[in-house]
Amino acid sequence: MTVAGADLGTVYDREALAWAAGLFDGEGYIACIARREPRSRNAPLLNMTVNQWHDAFVLVRFQAALGGVGHIGSRPRLGGVTEYTWRLSSFEKVQASIALLWRWLSPVKRQQAMRALTGFQGHRQLIGVRAYRRQQRAGQ
């Protein structure tokens, strides 16, 4: 059975998750950013990322520890160096990934995750309220 794209039958390796939490603690980033694009209607963007230079091996291992979620991309940087990025932006998958890593995250990274997740939820609720108000005004 799958929920939000995650296979509930997946058995996660505690050591791999502890390692992944350490990597995310040191190299990772999570934030809720309000987009300012005309078509986005200021919809929030939840972003969980880990960056590495030169080689994607560490990111592949990180992705595997989290059950295969996320996307690994690359882009060339100055000097011919390649930057690799693991990225996840689905609220449900980010929330599930943070839950898997939570036990081993530092207080600072936990606080960063809480701010991002609650900010996203708050913004999502605000958009819902605005849509409801627009709908009410249109019906009058």
pLDDT at position 3 is 42
Q: What is the pLDDT, as a whole number, of residue 117? A: 92
Q: Using CA atoms, how far apart are residues 86 and 83, in angstroms rounded to an integer?
A: 10
Number of structural domains the chain divides into: 1
Based on its alpha-carbon atoms, the radius of gyration of the chain, rounded to whole angstroms, reads 18
Is 4 part of a structural domain of the chain?
A: no
In a domain, 93, yes or no: yes
Length of the chain: 140
Q: How crowded is residue 34: how many other Cβ atoms within 10 Å of its Cβ?
A: 12
The answer to whether residue 55 is domain-embedded is: yes
State pTM to two decimals. Answer: 0.78
Domain assignment present for residue 5? The answer is: no
Single-letter residue type at 130: R
Query: Does 92 fall in a domain?
Result: yes
What's the Cα-to-Cα distance from 129 to each of 17, 33, 36, 118, 123, rounded to whole Å?
Answer: 38, 19, 19, 16, 10
- Which CATH number do you get for residue 76? 3.10.28.10
Q: Tell me the three state secondary structure of residue 77.
A: coil
| Confidence (pLDDT) at 122 | 75
Q: Please check whether residue 14 lies inside any domain of the structure.
A: yes
pLDDT of residue 137: 65
DSSP strand pairing (28-34 vs 6-7): unpaired
Angle CA(55)–CA(56)–CA(61) in degrees, nearest 5?
A: 130
pLDDT at 96: 95
Average pLDDT by consecutive 10-residue portion of the chain (140 residues)?
Answer: 51 94 96 70 82 94 96 92 94 94 97 92 64 59
**What's the domain range around 113?**
10-139
Strands 6-7 and 2-3, by their bridges, are antiparallel
Note whether residue 3 is domain-resident: no
Q: Is residue 2 situated within a structural domain?
A: no
Strand positions, DSSP E, the chain: 2-3, 6-7, 28-34, 44-53, 71-76, 82-88
Contacts of 16 (CB under 8 A, 6+ apart): 61, 64, 65
